[in-house]
Amino acid sequence: MSAIKEPISISSNCKQSIDLLRSRLNKVLLGKADRMELVIACLLAGGHLLLDDLPGLGKTTLAKAIARCFGAKFARIQCTPDLLPTDVTGFNMFNQKTREFEFHHGPVFSDILLADEINRTTPRTQSAMFEAMAERQVTIDGESRTLSPVFFVIATQNPIESHGAYPLPEAQLDRFAMKVEIGYPDRAAQLAILNQVESRYHDTTMEGESLSLGKLQELQSHVQEIRVAPAVQAYLVELCEATRSHESVTLGLSPRGMLIWQRVARAWALLQNRDFVIPDDIQAVAKPVVGVRLITRGQPSSNVIESILKEVEAPSYR
């Protein structure tokens, strides 16, 4: 039973920041406003994003755009089979001049990290990444080093190429807040893309006011204050239990997944300019959040999630 909190109001400052972020990202990926909402929700919820998409759809562009929005440090890892864990986390190297070991930071010490084709690297390297994602710290030679407080990972995996790939195990998938498929842009968006002035070094989309990492942290803490009514929590619990008892589900939602779901729903409510979560928010983020961690048999997870949403009674106003 949660304590009844006083409703908070969404400050105009907060709304402006969200609108700015939204508009900038929508300019980067044209025709994908709904996907951008999910990405922003994931970012505000403090989770990590898994993009399960074909090459050339703008994943790297998206990650860079997010970093530029907040003036954050961006790093990219191309996951190959020969990638070592130290390539991800960093390593200590002996400096001949100073006669001391110097730590060379790995890509995880950035604010926004794009891990491309994460399913192509070895499980050993994957685990080093996931430790950083889960703990927000890395341990190298016995010394723990904390990562950025807004450390955000966008991992991608190619659904086509399976040869030479190391599919992510269920426990690792649970580290991600959600899985999003960007997909191909529609016709109008494709035309707009062609007409867009391409400049590798000059990006006009980020001109003007920019956000800061502090603003991002503020938004993330705001998300934690969004109210979740007991009825909505009960609904969430019922949905989670339904995922465990469904006949087509091999592995249902864990309590960690349930917490992430609630967090993402809060972020979604904030994006709708609400200071409380409604059942619609739970349903809106169900597929991306649950889809990344649900193991099904016989039918795709999206179908299973849809059937679960239909079967569980949604709370009403009585």
Partner 1 sequence: MSDLLIQPPSSPVNSEVAPRAEKLVRRRVVDLLVRDARELERRRLGTIAMAIVAILLLAHRRLNYDSLAVLALESIGSMIFLLLASRTAKCAISKRLATEAGAIEGATSSAWSVLFMTTSVAMPWITNPLAKQFGNGNGLEIVMLTSLGWGGLALALLSFQFRTLSLSVVCSGFLTLFATFISDSPIALWFSLVWGILCLWWLVNNYWAQVETAAAVRIQPARFQRIVFTLFGCAVFLVGAFFVAGRIPVVRKLQTELIPTSGGTTGKDSAARRGVGNGDALIAAKKHATSFGAVETDVFLDSEQPSLFDVFSDEFGEPKKKPKRVERAQALSPQDVKSEEGRFTEANRAASSSEFSIERELPEERKPVDDLVAESLMFWQGESATHLAAQRFSHFDGAIWSNSGVIPHASARPIECTIIGQQSWFGPSGTSVQNSISPFVDSLPEAIKFTRYRSPTIPTRQGVQLWCIDQIDQQNFFAISLDGCLQMPDREHVPDYTVVRMINSRIDLERLEDLVRNCSPGKSHKELADDCRLDLNRLAHIYAGNLPRGWQQVQSIVSGLRTQFVLDRVSEIVLSDSIIDSESLALNRFLEHRRGPDYLFATAAALMLDHLGYRTRFVAGFYANPKHYVAREGEIAILPSDAHAWLEIDVGHGYWIPLEPSPGYREPQYTASIWYQMKQHRWAIAMWTLTVSATALCIYLLRGLLIEWVSWVAYPALFLVNDRIRIAWLTWLLELRCQLAGVPRTKGTVLREHLNRFRTCLPGDLGEQVHLYLESADRMWFGGMSRLSKSDQAAIVQVWQGLTTRTLRRGNRQMTEGQLA
Q: Which residues bind partner 1 (CB under 8 A)?
A: 1, 4-7, 227, 229-232, 274-280, 283, 309-318
Q: Which residue lies nearer to partner 1 by CB, 29 or 271? A: 271
Q: Which residue lies nearer to partner 1 by CB, 69 or 269? A: 269
**CA pair distance 306, 287, nearest whole angstrom:** 8
Q: At its nearest, how many Å lie between partner 1 and the CB of residue 250?
A: 22
Q: Which residue lies nearer to partner 1 by CB, 150 or 277? A: 277
CB atoms < 10 A from the CB of 207, how many? Answer: 9
**Tokens 């440090």, residue located:** 73
Q: At its nearest, how many Å lie between partner 1 and the CB of residue 282?
A: 9
Among residues 73, 107, 114, 112, the alpha carbon closest in space to that of 90 is found at: 107
Q: At its nearest, how many Å lie between partner 1 and the CB of residue 296?
A: 18
DSSP string, 234-293: HHHHHHHHHHHH-TTEEE---HHHHHHHHHHHHHHHHHTT-SEE-HHHHHHTHHHHHHTT
Q: Which residue lies nearer to partner 1 by CB, 125 or 301? A: 301
Q: Which residue lies nearer to partner 1 by CB, 202 or 318? A: 318
**CA pair distance 279, 235, nearest whole angstrom:** 8
Q: At its nearest, how many Å lie between partner 1 and the CB of residue 65?
A: 31
Q: Which residue lies nearer to partner 1 by CB, 1 or 160? A: 1
Q: At its nearest, how many Å lie between partner 1 and the CB of residue 315?
A: 8
Identity of the amino acid at 149: P
Give yes or no for a contact between 129 and 115, defined as CB atoms under 8 angstroms apart: yes
Q: At its nearest, how many Å lie between partner 1 and the CB of residue 307?
A: 9
Exposure string (b/e) for 256-292, b if CB count within 10 Å is 16 or more? ebbebbbbbbbbbbbbeebbebbbebbbbbbbbbbbb
**CA pair distance 27, 94, nearest whole angstrom:** 45
